[in-house]
Structure 1
Amino acid sequence: MLYFSRFKMILIWLAVAATVVLAAPNLIPASTLAQLPSWVPKRQMTLGLDLQGGSHILLEMNQNDLIKDRLETTRDEIRTLLRDAKIGYTGLGGTGRTLQVRITDPAQLDAAKKALKTLTDPVAAGLFTGGSIQEMALDDSEPGLLKFTVTDAGIKYRTSTALAQSIEVVERRVNELGTTEPIVQRQGDDRILVQVPGLQDPQRLKEILGQTAKLTFQMVDQSMPVQDALKGRPPAGSTVLYSQDDPPVPYLIENRVIVSGENLVDAQATYNSQNNEPVVSFRFDSKGAARFGQATAQNVGKLFAIILDNQVISAPQIREPILGGTGQISGNFTAQSANDLAVLLRAGALPATLTVIEERTVGPGLGQDSIHAGKVAGIIGSILVVAFMFVAYGFLGFLANIALAVHVAMIVGLLSLLGATLTLPGIAGIVLTIGMAVDSNVLIYERIREERRAGRSVIQAIDTGFSKALATIVDSNVTSLIATVVLFYLGTGPVKGFAITYAIGILTTVFTAFTFTRLLVSIWLRRARPKELPRAPITFVPPGTKIPFMGIRRWTFALSSALSILSVVAFMSVGINYGIDFKGGSLIEVQSKSGDANLADIRGRLSELNIGEVQVQQFGAPNDVLIRVGTQDGGENAEQTVIDKVRGELQDQYDFRRVEVVGPTVSGELAKQGTIAMIVALVGILVYVWFRFEWQFAVGAIVATVHDVVMTLGFFVISGLEFNQSSLAAILTIIGYSLNDTIVVYDRVREDLRKYKRMPLPQLLNNAINETLSRTTLTSVTTSLALLALVLFGGEVIRSFTLAMLFGVVFGTYSSIFIAAPLLILFKLRPQASADEEKPVGGGKAVAT
């Protein structure tokens, strides 16, 4: 185990050097990197929106718009086809997903079906998917009546096509804003995720993304005054539309579209040369120019309307034919609103309305504060862990600290290489892996000490220690990895960022602890040729400790049962403080522009806005305030209206540092995903432990883990901490950590079962726990030190996450000793254990594992 060939040593050092080189650009300012030669690695970690500021917006397509448009198109086709075929009809109309038409002459029914056959013909589903689908289904069961219904497959096809088109439009609109490296990607069947780093004006982004931008040029119907149309009924073929003015002005508009926005090839914000007012200049393609020229030539002296999303922008008079295919749109524009309209027109219209169902916006100031807090917490946590390892293991601790530095460099280097996004929870993941990476070294070093006490030479003890620790390291890290994989696939946003960082940390831990540390130790052995293992300044758990843990198992069972019942009762009666991730609503963090924040004044001003339940509390510094607004009854759009009202009321005195809006649709999905994630993680771990050990071990590990989860939920209830997505990530990580601890104890139990064939199970469990007590204690302390640094210096945003983690580490250590191990007696791992419990030596048979 301690021999390394020259080739293997070179490979290891090359791997370490490569990761250091990949990680180095993150320590160099971007301006300096730009001046270095092109062959120098320059890729840095991508900072998440919570660190560099920006907006995360989730848009949902309105399928009802697509169905409505499809039915309107189908109705026009039916009218045209029947007229061309000279077939009489009546009652053309419909509701929901169905259109119907009655053929007046029964003798023409077959001819009508033949004329309308093209409506039900299959359409190609796609180039790569292959096959075809039927968009419309015909029902002719009622005599003389034809019913056309949009099929489920047709809706799915239309939605998929419209979503692809919408993504292109959204990308064009976002790129027109001049932002850097925006992310626009499909999410699910009818949603689009938009992430724009460094955006200073998220409100403008929402306005641009939320508009369908369907532009049409239509004639104004001047056959009757618009007021008469409002009082009575508009003429056939005309509709009353309103302008964007305040108050809005009504216009009677002909339904016939002269030219639409599809014929635009360019639109630019300019100024009117006569009055210097902002206008939008446009240019049509050849087809649009011909139509527009013909219409204006035929209607000189009449009014025509420029309509955007069923609102009249302006309605100028046609003074002369416009034949050049160019023109101007004038209105009450500002420079920005004219530019935004030009952006919308250049990008094109959306095929359906997109609704904001989730928004998370972080200001650049808060992002810088989070980076600073993360750096401080990381440095302090690292110093505490490094100091503790040196105190606990002396020179071997020094070697472990070198491996720890390489471990961090590997995480940063791999994150940079993969282009992964580093979020604030991701920083927490790095700090946490610093604490947990020590665990593998502790496992190895404790094994080495144990083998040395058993009489082996220094070289033999080190070689055997590494060899025996390998299986335990693999088992303990795989269980953590299972929970992390679940977290990655079922989590979103920052939670997924944490999972990526944590997973990379788990993988690099195995390499640095088992390979790189082993290399450093082998080099030290060859050069120093020690006669004894280095002494540690402090011994935390004396060798030969024999604490009778099993003697008090009934008391610990009773205590844990009582606390678990109390937690469940508190959860059912008092309830947990769910964040907006799970119950919907809005969360707004503001900072006073001058002096301390006036909470009473904020409450008073917001209470007058009629926006429902509002909570206002201090958040960290005296000038920081956190505002929570309950979910609105009006749906997704009402949630966005709340933000507009609060911003309008407070923006003169407060800077908006963070805005999160989660609509009822997303909150319900997140709650469901959280429950599924918990169940999937537990089932995955159960299967793995059952496969590696026996069913008693698997069930015992799950019971102990569920105990830790219940305790953590009780902690959230009693402490009143907000339970959000990050809290869910904390619980899933606690599941992995608790199992990590339990597997270490179980691995020693399995080993002792083979070694001591006739030892009573309680005595064997006591031995196993005492043998691993030093490892359990040291790992718990190092992880707690890293988490404590996050709690104290990591900032308010992740405090609930890190407090839950710290609590879970403490109870995870407790459960692995006082719950997981005693359960093996309860499950009769050795059938005669209860009979032999009081004897110094028993006669039970060992379970073969």
Structure 2
Amino acid sequence: MPENNDNATGSPAEAAPTQSGGPKKTSVFQRLYTGTGAFDIVGHRKQWYIAFAVLVLVCIGGMGLKGFNLGIEFEGGTQIQLPARGAQGQIDEDEASNVISEVTGVAAAEAQVVGVGESATIQVRSSTLDANQVVEAKRALFDEFQPLASTGQPSQSVISDSAVSASWGGEISQQALIALAVFMVLVTIFLVIYFEKWMAVSALITLIHDIVVTAGVYAIVGFEVTPATVIGLLTILGYSLYDTVVVFDKVKENTRGLLNLTKRTYGEAANLALNQTLMRSINTSVIALLPVLGLMVVGYLLLGSGTLQDLALVQLTGMLVGVVSSVLLATPLLVTFKMRETAYREQAERVAERRAQSSRAAAREEAAGGSETDVDDDFDPGDDEQLETELRKERAYAAAASVPARTPKAKDRHRNQRPRRSGTPSGKRKRS
């Protein structure tokens, strides 16, 4: 099948011949940096499909079996806040949580320290408490820890409470879904106009994959889902789309005039584009992940902010998933869709036919003691002059292939070559 020819998508530069005729071995980092097409990503797309399918099934199973650890903003509840410093010294958040649980009979869902130094506070969240339970909890906290006010004296007024309705979280979820739908529609329109339909379909499938995997990781690991998680999820979609668009733009450049050429198949041109942008994708990911890691370390470990933790976790997960899917899923999907079209299958057949003819010609030249060198490895379809030159070669090649043989048939040669008699020329008689 023509599509199977894409398994050999490596560029000839992968094993450049040396002067002695043997392949020139290069290191993995050198091939990664130069982007010569040495990594056959598209050719192994079936293996990537299986790996991503298993990952998606695991994530869907995690969401279905374990569910999400929804925060107080989505389930509703009560939050009690007090200074982290009391008359006896630093207040432990776990001890504060235990005091509230003993007084109210309701287990606290979360307790954390927010801020540092004199401004540090303790936040304890639980399911919804009535007014009497809140009063008892605040009195018990004051009696146990004697939290200090800004004046340096213990005060019960510094212990505050707030209630969150579950309907507020539902409104956030609804608005997030609307924003996601609008984002998907606008992205589809942009990709169809700037690229073409199969690139738009591939990008959308990749985005959906990123959403499912990120949500599945949250369900399996048990991260708390907060409004910051929703914000971070919408943020990573733009990052994943950016990386995919960069690769697709290079694919578009490498496949200019491809149907009129017989140098590479669509899969080979797309695989070369992946290799050429692979180093950029890695560099972009590393640079983007560094501030996210900083946000997690500074925001959570030093400042103790749960909001920063939620935002950093979803961005870290989503960025990693996004860069992997943009490289290993988006472009292979595009090649699979394109190779369903008759024009690209026929072009792949012409590529295979020309390569077979070139191999036979090279074998004949080698048998005759010569050598044949392919000088077309540096062809750049993004260069207008090179592309026009190559198109002229293709037209000349097609014209030469359609010209009938000029060698005369045997009977015509015998007819034109009459035997000449010895002696007197024809038409003259010898006089006696």
- TM-score higher than 0.5 here? yes
Structure 1 Cα separation of the partners of residues 317 and 230 of structure 2: 14
Structure 1 Cα separation of the partners of residues 44 and 349 of structure 2: 14
1:581 to 2:73 alignment: yes
Query: What are the Cα deviations for residues 214-234 of structure 1, in whole angstroms up to 9, with x where unaligned?
Result: xxxxxxxxxxxxxxxxxxxxx
Task: Give the percent of matched residue pairs that are identical in Structure 1 and Structure 2.
Answer: 27
Structure 2 Cα separation of the partners of residues 665 and 544 of structure 1: 52
Structure 1 Cα separation of the partners of residues 96 and 321 of structure 2: 42
| Contact residue 35 and residue 277 of structure 2 kept, 8 A | no
Partner of 2:201: 699
- The within-5 A match list for 1:159-558 is 541-545=32-36, 546-558=38-50
Aligned with residue 239 of structure 2, among 718, 730, 737: 737
1:802 to 2:294 alignment: no
Q: How far is the alpha carbon of 1:602 from its aligned partner? A: 3.6
Q: How far is the alpha carbon of 1:645 from its aligned partner? A: 4.5
2:298 partner letter: F
| Contact residue 738 and residue 812 of structure 1 kept, 8 A | yes
1:630 to 2:127 alignment: yes
Query: What are the Cα deviations for residues 457-481 of structure 1, in whole angstroms up to 9, with x where unaligned?
Result: xxxxxxxxxxxxxxxxxxxxxxxxx
SS across alignment from 2:67:
coil
Partner of 1:818: 328
SS across alignment from 2:137:
helix
Partner of 1:770: 275
Structure 2 Cα separation of the partners of residues 540 and 827 of structure 1: 28
Partner of 2:214: 712
2:314 partner letter: A
Structure 2 Cα separation of the partners of residues 783 and 658 of structure 1: 38
| Contact residue 597 and residue 624 of structure 1 kept, 8 A | no
| Contact residue 114 and residue 123 of structure 2 kept, 8 A | no
Q: How far is the alpha carbon of 1:746 from its aligned partner? A: 0.9
2:309 partner letter: R
Query: What are the Cα deviations for residues 308-328 of structure 1, in whole angstroms up to 9, with x where unaligned?
Result: xxxxxxxxxxxxxxxxxxxxx
Q: How far is the alpha carbon of 1:551 from its aligned partner? A: 2.1
1:723 to 2:218 alignment: no
Partner of 2:362: none
Q: How far is the alpha carbon of 1:547 from its aligned partner? A: 0.8
Partner of 2:140: 649
SS across alignment from 2:70:
coil
C-alpha distance 735-782 of structure 1, shift in aligned 2 (>3 A):
same
Partner of 2:394: none
Partner of 2:189: 687
Structure 2 Cα separation of the partners of residues 547 and 683 of structure 1: 34
Q: How far is the alpha carbon of 1:811 from its aligned partner? A: 1.1
1:783 to 2:288 alignment: yes
Query: What are the Cα deviations for residues 241-278 of structure 1, in whole angstroms up to 9, with x where unaligned?
Result: xxxxxxxxxxxxxxxxxxxxxxxxxxxxxxxxxxxxxx
| Contact residue 615 and residue 628 of structure 1 kept, 8 A | yes
C-alpha distance 794-682 of structure 1, shift in aligned 2 (>3 A):
same
Query: What are the Cα deviations for residues 561-606 of structure 1, in whole angstroms up to 9, with x where unaligned?
Result: 1111111111111011111222211334542421351625642443
Q: How far is the alpha carbon of 1:540 from its aligned partner? A: 9.5
| Contact residue 825 and residue 834 of structure 1 kept, 8 A | no
Q: How far is the alpha carbon of 1:769 from its aligned partner? A: 0.6
| Contact residue 776 and residue 813 of structure 1 kept, 8 A | yes
Runs of 5+ in structure 1 lacking a partner?
Answer: 1-537, 633-637
Aligned with residue 661 of structure 1, among 158, 163, 169: 163
Q: How far is the alpha carbon of 1:558 from its aligned partner? A: 0.9
Partner of 1:177: none
- The within-5 A match list for 1:152-163 is none
2:137 partner letter: V
SS across alignment from 1:754:
coil
Structure 2 Cα separation of the partners of residues 723 and 737 of structure 1: 21
Q: How far is the alpha carbon of 1:739 from its aligned partner? A: 0.3
C-alpha distance 813-540 of structure 1, shift in aligned 2 (>3 A):
farther
Q: How far is the alpha carbon of 1:813 from its aligned partner? A: 0.8
C-alpha distance 575-768 of structure 1, shift in aligned 2 (>3 A):
same
| Contact residue 73 and residue 166 of structure 2 kept, 8 A | no
Query: What are the Cα deviations for residues 343-397 of structure 1, in whole angstroms up to 9, with x where unaligned?
Result: xxxxxxxxxxxxxxxxxxxxxxxxxxxxxxxxxxxxxxxxxxxxxxxxxxxxxxx
Structure 2 Cα separation of the partners of residues 731 and 658 of structure 1: 31
Runs of 5+ in structure 2 lacking a partner?
Answer: 1-28, 149-157, 355-380, 382-432
Structure that is richer in strand per residue: 1
1:563 to 2:73 alignment: no
C-alpha distance 821-836 of structure 1, shift in aligned 2 (>3 A):
same
| Contact residue 760 and residue 842 of structure 1 kept, 8 A | no
Structure 2 Cα separation of the partners of residues 694 and 618 of structure 1: 50
C-alpha distance 699-576 of structure 1, shift in aligned 2 (>3 A):
same
C-alpha distance 641-678 of structure 1, shift in aligned 2 (>3 A):
farther
Q: How far is the alpha carbon of 1:619 from its aligned partner? A: 4.7
Q: How far is the alpha carbon of 1:718 from its aligned partner? A: 2.3
C-alpha distance 774-738 of structure 1, shift in aligned 2 (>3 A):
same
Structure 1 Cα separation of the partners of residues 334 and 278 of structure 2: 18
C-alpha distance 651-756 of structure 1, shift in aligned 2 (>3 A):
farther
Q: How far is the alpha carbon of 1:730 from its aligned partner? A: 0.7
Structure 1 Cα separation of the partners of residues 240 and 198 of structure 2: 17
| Contact residue 540 and residue 774 of structure 1 kept, 8 A | no
Aligned with residue 747 of structure 1, among 229, 249, 252: 249
SS across alignment from 1:665:
helix
Q: How far is the alpha carbon of 1:822 from its aligned partner? A: 0.9
Q: How far is the alpha carbon of 1:842 from its aligned partner? A: 8.1
Give the alignment's TM-score, normalised by structure 1: 0.33
Query: What are the Cα deviations for residues 479-506 of structure 1, in whole angstroms up to 9, with x where unaligned?
Result: xxxxxxxxxxxxxxxxxxxxxxxxxxxx
Structure 1 Cα separation of the partners of residues 217 and 197 of structure 2: 30
SS across alignment from 2:225:
coil
Partner of 2:360: none
Q: How many residues align?
A: 300
1:572 to 2:67 alignment: no
Structure 1 Cα separation of the partners of residues 207 and 94 of structure 2: 41
C-alpha distance 767-586 of structure 1, shift in aligned 2 (>3 A):
same
| Contact residue 587 and residue 629 of structure 1 kept, 8 A | yes
SS across alignment from 1:735:
helix
1:676 to 2:178 alignment: yes
2:283 partner letter: L
Q: How far is the alpha carbon of 1:837 from its aligned partner? A: 6.4
Structure that is richer in helix per residue: 2
C-alpha distance 827-641 of structure 1, shift in aligned 2 (>3 A):
farther
C-alpha distance 754-540 of structure 1, shift in aligned 2 (>3 A):
closer
Structure 2 Cα separation of the partners of residues 785 and 539 of structure 1: 24
Structure 2 Cα separation of the partners of residues 675 and 643 of structure 1: 34
Structure 2 Cα separation of the partners of residues 539 and 685 of structure 1: 35
| Contact residue 696 and residue 829 of structure 1 kept, 8 A | no
| Contact residue 567 and residue 711 of structure 1 kept, 8 A | yes
Partner of 2:415: none
